[in-house]
Amino acid sequence: MNGSNWIGRIIFGGFILFVLLPLLPGVFRVFKLAGGRALLPDNPRANAAPFPILLHIVASVVYGVLCLFQFSTRFRKKHLNLHRLFGPIAAIAGLAAAASGLWMTHFYSFPTNLQGAPLYWFRLLIGTAMFGFVIIAIRAIIGRDVMTHRAYLIRAFAIGTGASTQAFFGIFWIIATGEEALGTFRDAVMIGAWLFNLAVAECIIRRGQKPGRKTSHRSRSVVA
Ligand code: HEM
């Protein structure tokens, strides 16, 4: 195996860890709500109304894990049937994650240091966008428009992995200052993480659309 293969594997391994980062606390939360030991600080909103957060976490785990397979060119090439099977499951999970996120944003009673007005409105916007992007991607693939399908799934995934970037920024902030980010600053960090991911997504989409790039040809031949 040559050096660039190793680098590619390390980058991909890092990416998997990045996607799985926010899923682990989610699994801990499910464990706690199922009557297990508390491995995380208490979430009174989850205790008061566990169903939406349970649905959100299960849907996010399914969505995050399946997307890792769906975006892998090697996996699509080798297991096209599985790609086609996982696609609708990932789409339903993505829709459920976005819809339950929207529900909690509106109906959970947050203290303002955890969700101020900017984060409330932005979550409504970004959750709706994620839901809409998955629908557009489904419609595109039904119409065999692979490039639109790819672009909107990348955008939806960027919103989904906003949870990873937020966790990453949050952990970094705690290590740097010894305190959790709260209030308006927390709102700004959460919103900034989503905007950052969307900017990266746009770069990836544009790279894939450049004429003659291998990725666009591969995705055409494999998915269509
Ligand atoms: C699909 C990717 C997503 C993942 C992996 C994810 C992850 C999580 C996890 C693990 C929790 C549980 C936190 C806890 O136990 O305290 C959570 C809660 C929550 N998520 Fe998401 N999320 C995702 C998408 C979204 C989206 C798009 C929105 C915006 C509408 C959203 C809004 C929320 C809200 C409002 C809560 C409740 C937070 C609380 O009660 O403190 N999530 N998310």
Amino acid letter, 199: A
pLDDT value, residue 90:
97
In this prediction, the residues of the chain whose per-residue pLDDT falls under 50 are 214-224
pLDDT value, residue 219:
40
Ligand 1 proximal residues by C-beta, below 6 Å: 22-23, 25-26, 29, 43, 45-46, 53, 56-57, 60, 63-64, 97-98, 101-102, 104-105, 108, 114, 123, 126-127, 130, 159-160, 163
End-to-end alpha carbon distance in the chain? 31
| Residue nearest to ligand 1 atom 33, measured at CA | 101
- Residue 5 — left, alpha, or beta (φ > 0 → left; ψ -120 to 50 → alpha)? alpha
Give residue-wise pLDDT tens across range 26-45: 989 998 898 888 888 889 99
pLDDT value, residue 195:
98
pLDDT value, residue 5:
77
Q: How far apart are CA 5 and CA 221, in angstroms?
A: 23
**Under a CB-based contact definition with an 8 Å cutoff, are residues 187 and 119 in contact?**
yes
Distances 97 to 5, 80, 124 between C-alpha atoms, Å: 34, 25, 13
Give residue-wise pLDDT tens across range 90-113: 999 999 999 999 999 999 999 999
pLDDT value, residue 220:
38
CA 139 to chain centre: 20
Dihedral (CA of 111, 167, 156, 53) sign: negative
| Residue nearest to ligand 1 atom 20, measured at CA | 101
pLDDT value, residue 139:
97
Q: How far apart are CA 165 and CA 22, in angstroms?
A: 9
